[in-house]
C-alpha cells in the first residue's frame, strides 16, 4: 500500500504519538484542570506542554494564547464568529477551503460584507490585490497559507507585514495545510490569528487543533463560540475573560493533546526546514514525472518551491473518481478525488465541477513510492 492522502490526514504517525497517548490512558487518565489531585495536575501539565510546543513551532506570543479545539475548522469559526459583526467587511481569496467560505457566506447573510480576491489559474495571489480590496470598515483579512487543492503557497507574510505597517485590519491565516510543512512565525509574518490542525503535518491525532490568538486581537470585543465550565472562576456564572479559558469550555481532548504534543515535538526535532526540503524534492519529482505522461494535466505551479506537497491532476478521458478507484484497487495507492471541500479553488483553476485526483505526500513518503505512483498513472493514461 502507498499512502498519498496526507493532505486529508497524515499517516503513518511518529511512534512517539501513540506512545504518548497510551501513556496518558494507562498512567494518567484524569480530567485536566478540574481537580487538585496528582493525576489531574499531571493531565493539566500535559495539556500545557502541548500549548508550549504549538507556540514554539508557530512563534506565538504566549502559550496561553493557544486555544485548543477539534481542528482548524473550529479555529476558523471561532475567529470569524469571535470578531465579525454586521457592517464589518472581510477580504479573502478565491482559493479558500469551505472551512472559510461556508462560515463567511453565513455571516454574509447576517450583514457582514465579503470580498473575494481572484487568484490566478495556478492558485497564486497578488498581495497588492488584497491590499487594494481593503475598505475603511475592513475588519479582517482571511487567507489560507497553502491550498489543499494545488498546494499553492499564498503570500501571507507579505500581506501580514503590510497590514502591520499600515496598522490595518487583522490577518487570520488558515494553516491547516502548511502548519509543520512550511516555516511559520506569527510575529515575524504579521499573523494575528492562526488556525491549525493536529492531524495533518503536525503528525498528531484527529480531533486536535485550534486557534492561536495574537496580541493585536482585542479580547474585550472577542466572543467565544461556546460557554460553559472551564475549571476556573467557578464561583461566577459569567464566562472568564482571559485566555485560553474564555474560549475553552468543557473537558478537552487531553489524550489527543498528549499525542499532538508528541507530534509537534517530532516536527521540531526533525526541523520544519528539513521536512520541507524532503517534501520539495519529492514533489518536484512527482510534478516532472506527471507532466511527461501524455494525457495528464497537472494543476498549480510547476516549481515545487511555490507549493506544499499537494499535487492535483487529471487524466484525459477519465473521471477523477474512476482514476482514484483504479489506483486503490489495482495499485494499492491511496489518494483523494473530487472537489476536496474547496469548490472556490476548483472554479479558480478550471476543474469545477468534476474536480481532480490529488496526491499528497508527507514526511514519511519515499522516492520509491513516488516512482510507483508515476508508473501507475502512466499505465492508466495509456488506457
Q: Which residues are catalytic?
A: 341
- What's the rounded Cα separation, in Å, for the pair 127 and 99? 22
Output the nine-digit C-alpha cell for 240.
Answer: 472568564
Counted residue by residue, the chain has a size of 383
CA 322 to chain centre: 28
Q: How many CB atoms lie within 10 A of CB 379?
A: 13
Phi, psi of 317 (to 5 degrees): 80, 0
Output the nine-digit C-alpha cell for 178.
Answer: 502548511
- What's the rounded Cα separation, in Å, for the pair 69 and 225? 11
Strand partners, 211: 67, 195
- What's the rounded Cα separation, in Å, for the pair 173 and 176? 9
Looking from the CA of 251 toward its CB, the CA atoms found within 13 Å total 11
Q: How many CB atoms lie within 10 A of CB 252?
A: 22
Q: Are 263 and 204 in contact (CB under 8 A)?
A: yes
- What's the rounded Cα separation, in Å, for the pair 157 and 145? 9
Beta-sheet strands, E only, within 44-102: 66-69, 89-93
Amino acid at each position: 500500500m502507498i499512502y498519498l492522502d496526507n493532505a486529508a490526514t497524515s499517516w503513518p504517525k511518529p511512534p512517539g504519538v501513540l506512545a504518548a497517548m497510551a501513556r496518558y490512558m494507562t498512567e494518567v487518565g484524569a480530567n485536566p484542570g478540574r481537580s487538585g489531585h496528582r493525576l489531574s495536575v499531571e493531565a493539566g501539565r500535559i495539556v500545557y506542554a502541548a500549548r508550549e510546543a504549538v507556540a514554539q513551532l508557530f512563534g506565538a506570543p504566549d502559550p496561553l494564547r493557544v486555544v485548543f479545539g477539534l481542528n482548524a475548522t473550529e479555529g476558523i469559526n471561532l475567529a470569524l464568529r469571535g470578531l465579525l459583526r454586521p457592517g464589518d467587511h472581510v477580504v479573502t481569496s478565491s482559493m479558500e477551503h469551505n472551512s472559510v467560505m461556508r462560515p463567511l457566506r453565513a455571516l454574509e447573510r447576517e450583514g457582514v460584507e465579503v470580498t473575494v480576491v481572484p487568484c490566478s489559474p495556478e492558485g497564486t495571489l497578488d498581495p497588492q490585490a488584497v491590499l487594494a480590496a481593503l475598505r475603511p470598515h475592513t475588519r479582517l483579512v482571511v487567507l489560507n497559507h497553502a491550498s489543499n487543492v494545488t498546494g499553492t503557497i499564498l503570500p501571507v507574510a507579505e500581506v501580514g507585514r503590510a497590514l502591520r505597517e499600515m496598522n490595518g485590519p487583522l490577518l487570520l491565516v488558515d494553516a491547516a495545510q502548511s502548519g509543520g510543512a512550511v516555516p511559520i512565525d506569527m510575529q515575524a509574518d504579521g499573523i494575528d490569528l492562526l488556525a491549525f490542525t493536529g492531524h495533518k503535518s503536525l503528525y498528531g491525532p484527529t480531533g486536535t487543533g485550534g486557534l492561536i490568538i495574537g496580541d493585536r486581537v482585542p479580547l474585550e470585543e472577542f466572543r467565544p463560540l461556546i460557554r460553559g465550565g472551564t475549571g476556573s472562576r467557578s464561583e461566577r456564572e459569567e464566562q472568564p475573560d482571559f485566555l485560553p479559558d474564555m474560549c475553552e469550555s468543557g473537558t478537552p481532548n487531553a489524550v489527543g493533546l498528549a499525542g499532538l504534543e508528541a507530534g509537534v515535538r517530532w516536527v521540531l526535532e526533525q526541523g520544519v526546514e528539513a521536512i520541507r526540503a524532503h517534501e520539495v524534492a519529492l514533489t518536484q519529482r512527482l510534478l516532472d514525472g506527471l507532466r511527461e505522461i501524455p494525457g495528464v494535466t497537472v494543476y498549480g505551479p510547476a516549481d515545487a518551491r511555490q507549493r506544499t506537497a499537494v499535487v492535483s491532476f487529471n487524466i484525459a478521458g477519465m473521471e477523477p473518481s474512476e482514476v482514484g478507484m483504479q489506483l486503490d484497487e489495482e495499485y494499492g495507492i491511496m489518494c483523494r478525488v473530487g472537489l476536496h471541500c474547496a469548490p472556490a479553488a476548483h472554479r479558480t483553476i478550471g476543474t469545477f465541477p468534476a474536480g481532480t485526483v490529488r496526491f499528497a505526500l508527507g514526511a514519511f513518503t519515499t522516492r520509491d513510492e513516488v516512482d510507483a505512483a508515476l508508473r501507475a498513472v502512466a499505465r492508466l493514461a495509456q488506457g
